[in-house]
Amino acid sequence: MKSIFTLLLSIFSFSAFAQTFTVYTDPAGDNSLQAIAIDEDNDRIWVGTNATTTGETIAFFEDGQWTKLNANTLGLLSGRLEDLIVNEGIVEAASFGGLSRIDWGNQTFETWTSTNSDLTVDAVLALAKDVDNDILYVGTGSGFELQAFDGQDWTDFDEISNTRTIEYDAANQTLWVGTLTRGLFKVENGTVTNYIWSNSAIPSGEIYDLEIDPTGKVWMVIDDKGLVSFDGTNFEQFTTENSDINDNDPTLVTVDAEGVVWFGGFNYGGITSYDGITFTSYLSFESDLPTNNIRQMKAAANGDLWMATSVGLVQLATGPNSVKEIQTLNFGISPNPTRDIMNIQMDDQIHEIEILNVSGQVLWQAEAPSLPLKTAFLKQGLYFLKIYSREGKIGVRKFIKE
């Protein structure tokens, strides 16, 4: 088929040990990835790219090779991909151009838009699937309602709008929806419940991403409120003030098969895992993690973490001794935003300090610097302060220079 190209693989590994973070890139393709889905049945990793001009917005990685699908030729969606899900080998993809379904095994391709179906609006941001009942939940932006699609008919959820993230908890037959403005929604046995600041302890109504752990607990990253969990009764919030997370601005969260929570995203400065007791950080300014620009991440059944990033497809192998773990240094900074000086509050002794820009470039470095730290030389903008302690810990904090 002329619209499909199988390409060679380019691999770069970053590790002090054997195979920790590995980057898979397509030498002839667009490696700025937006979305990711893991097809466990066929050992494929599906990704969405930014190659909107050529139409090659969907690809999969299998047996060390890339296969790209030309959306224009196959009649698939157009525009940047926002979400991908896969069940039993069937891929469903969301973009600002609509919704597409790909049955690669049978070579059948379908696309739904607001023009050829009852899809309310083409801007589809999130997807979730009730596999047992073959119902696809479709979240749209711009204030439009959540919809359910059974392959023929569309059903609107009038109570739920401005959806940003959706997950279906098959074990408890419950749908969870995170919105951009209206907090958290639960749909169970036909009943819709809304958790918002006026009736619950949720810290904000702007939910970026959510995931369900094996016990049914909901994990969320919310606006600038850090990591939040909800067990159906109580909300628990983890921030830089009460935990060892790096920053209060993660935008992505996923949970692996063992119940370990992973979170991070653009501007977070790395990724962090939480096993219920310990936070472990993998910092984007260490050579292990190639970029902090992570657009979406999913956990495979074997525990590996896969990420769609600005530099390609990244795999974090989590087997014994396969990951270089960074012992997190907890510290505070003030004022933030800052103008001329910055105070640092920490218990450990400082060995070295670095100031980095958002691209990870070191702009200033000093061993055992005098405090408070002078910041007047910086231009206005966003920066990262990275501190190495004499005990071997590393910590990163984001700050703004006014």
**Do 27 and 166 reside in the same domain of the chain?**
yes
Residue 242 · residue 228 · CB < 8 Å: no
Asked whether the predicted pLDDT for residue 147 surpasses 90, the reply is yes
Number of domains, the chain: 2
Question: Residues 117-144: what's their mean pLDDT?
Answer: 93
Q: Pick the residue with more confidence: 240 or 165?
A: 165
Residue 65: C-alpha distances to residues 10, 322, 369 (Å): 9, 23, 48
Amino acid at 365: Q
* pLDDT at site 2: 31
**pLDDT at 329 exceeding the cut of 90:** no
Same domain flag for 352 and 293: no
Q: Quick one: pLDDT at residue 19?
A: 37
In a domain, 325, yes or no: no
In what side-by-side order are the strands of the sheet with 10-14? 10-14, 21-25, 312-316, 305-309, 294-299
Domain harbouring 127, CATH code: 2.130.10.10
User: What is the average pLDDT score of the chain?
Assistant: 86
SS (H, E, C) the chain: CCCEEEECCEEEEECCCCCCEEEEECCCCCCCEEEEEEECCCCEEEEEECCCCCCCCEEEEECCEEEEECHHHHCCCCCCEEEEEEECCEEEEEECCEEEEEECCCCEEEEECCCCCCCCCCCEEEEEEECCCCEEEEEECCCCEEEEECCCCEEEEEEEECEEEEEEECCCCEEEEEECCCCEEEEECCEEEEECCCCCCCCCCCEEEEEECCCCCEEEEECCCCEEEECCCCEEEECCCCCCCCCCCCCEEEECCCCCEEEECCCCCEEEEECCCCEEEEECCCCCCCCCCEEEEEECCCCCEEEEECCEEEEECCCCCCCCCECECCCEEECCCECCEEEEECCCCEEEEEEECCCCCEEEEEECCCCCEECCCCCCEEEEEEEEECCCCEEEEEEEEC
The Cα 121–Cα 141 span in angstroms is 8
Are 244 and 277 in contact by the 8 Å Cβ rule? The answer is no
Length of the chain equals 402
- Domain of 123 in residue numbering reads as 4-316
**pLDDT grade for 8, boundaries at 50, 70 and 90:** very low
11 belongs to a structural domain = yes
pLDDT of residue 70: 81
Task: Assign residue 200 a region (left: φ > 0; alpha: ψ between -120 and 50; beta: otherwise).
Answer: beta
Cross-sheet strand order for the sheet of 235-238: 207-212, 218-222, 227-230, 235-238
Higher pLDDT, 252 or 141: 252
Which pLDDT score is estimated for 170? 94
Report whether pLDDT(148) > 90: yes
pLDDT of residue 285: 66
Do 57 and 135 share a structural domain?
yes
Q: Comparing 112 with 288, which gets the higher pLDDT?
A: 112
What pLDDT sits at residue 139? Answer: 97
Residues 270 and 242 in one domain: yes
Cα–Cα distance for residue pair 288/286, rounded to 1 Å: 5
Does one domain contain both 272 and 367? no
Please state, for a pLDDT cut of 90, what percent of the chain lies above it.
58
Within a domain: 146:
yes
> What's the pLDDT tens digit per position in 69-102?
888 788 877 667 899 999 999 999 998 889 999 9
The fraction of the chain above a pLDDT of 70, given in percent, is 89
Cis peptide before 369 (omega within 30 of 0): no
324 in a domain, yes or no?
no
Mean predicted confidence (pLDDT) in 372-382: 90
CA separation for the pair 202, 36 (Å, rounded): 28
Q: How large is the average pLDDT for residues 106-126?
A: 94
The CATH number of whichever domain residue 382 belongs to comes to 2.60.40.1930
Instruction: Say if residues 191 and 172 touch (Cβ distance below 8 Å).
Output: no
Q: What is the pLDDT of residues 19-50, one digit of tens each?
A: 378 899 988 888 889 999 999 999 999 999 87
User: Between 318 and 367, whose confidence is greater?
Assistant: 367
Report pTM.
0.78
What number is the average pLDDT over the span 103-109?
94
* Residue 371 or residue 393, greater confidence: 371
> Which of 253, 90, 53 is CA-nearest to residue 165?
253
Query: Which of 253, 281, 316 is the last residue in one of the domains?
Result: 316
Q: Please compute the mean of the pLDDT values over residues 358-362 and round it to a whole number.
A: 71
**Residues 308-326: tens digit of each pLDDT:** 999 999 999 865 434 444 5
Residue 14 CA, distance from chain mean position? 21
Same domain, 80 and 226: yes
In the predicted model, is pLDDT for residue 142 greater than 80?
no
Q: What do you get for the CA distance between the two ends of the chain, in Å?
A: 55
